[in-house]
Amino acid sequence: MKKISYRLIIGAILLIIGVLLLLRATGIYDTGQLLVYTPSVIVLFALIALIKSGFRSVSGPIILIIIFGTIQLVVLELVSPDVILPVIIIAVGLGFIFTRIRRPSIRERVTDKIEMMAILGGVESRNSSKTFRGGEMLAIFAGAELDLRDAHINDPPAEIQTFTLFGGTEIRVPEDWNVRLNVLPILGGAEDERRRPRAGGERGYGDADKGTHDQPDLIITGFVAFGGVTVKD
């Protein structure tokens, strides 16, 4: 399960929903009976995310499962719409409890590839691998922070795939790393906020492509909407 990236999963979900909507809009086929199960697709995604995280990040996926599972029951007219608000309140309360019990403030990792997921909450991780190769970061209505200042890349470039929706992704790197940002922003932003070295030892602000050497050490790819992806040192 961990070999399937979040970007691939989300892309497949959007593709399926988009095709169903297009078929219905063009009159080729009435997909209304299939679209009513859209909330179940979100539940399926939450289950996959829960398994991929090794049940380390439980609060966000569980909230999604409870809320969209209830919405699915309402859409199918199996329960009353009046239960939606109480269920949302209960789910958020459970999220606070799970976050308090299961999530440490900062996760210390020594692994070549990272996999971070933040849904309706925040996740912080520090990685000190000496053979760092990249990984993926997912932030939905949440914040994900990764500290790589003690990490090292033997075979550059390493690549981190990001997906940020209504949230923020922050990556801290050693000040001598050359970082290339290939993130698609839609009503969001992607920025390298590091102070870059300049001639004479002075430091000033620069962009992601003005590192100390031409070959990038780290490439950050992905998508951000209604949020931001930032690189800091």
**What confidence tens digit (pLDDT) does each residue in 53-69 have?**
777 777 788 888 999 99
Residue 204: pLDDT above 80? no
The pTM score is 0.77
pLDDT for 233? 84
Domain that holds residue 40: 6-102
For the residues 114-118, what does the mean pLDDT come to?
87
Residue 42 banded pLDDT, cuts 50, 70, 90: very high
The verdict on residue 15 lying in a domain is yes
The pLDDT of residue 107 is above 70: no
Structure-token pair, residue 94: 């459970």
Show which of 82, 102, 122 is a domain's final residue: 102
pLDDT at 198: 43
Q: Which of 40, 75, 102 is the last residue of a domain?
A: 102
Q: Answer whether residue 108 shows pLDDT above 70.
A: no
Residues 119, 94 within the same domain: no
Tell whether 111 and 98 lie within a shared domain. no
220, pLDDT greater than 70 = yes
pLDDT range class, residue 182, cuts 50, 70, 90:
very high
Task: Provide mean pLDDT across the span 2-18.
Answer: 83
74 in the same domain as 11: yes
Per-residue confidence (pLDDT) for residue 151, from 0 to 100? 92
Is the CB of residue 6 less than 8 Å from the CB of residue 163? yes
Same domain, 53 and 26: yes
**In a domain? residue 166:** yes
Does some domain include residue 40?
Answer: yes
Let me know if residue 98 belongs to a domain.
yes
Q: Please report the pLDDT score of residue 57 as a whole number.
A: 72
1 in any annotated domain: no
Residue 215's pLDDT band (cuts 50, 70, 90): confident
Whether residues 178 and 224 fall in one domain = yes
Same domain, 133 and 92: no
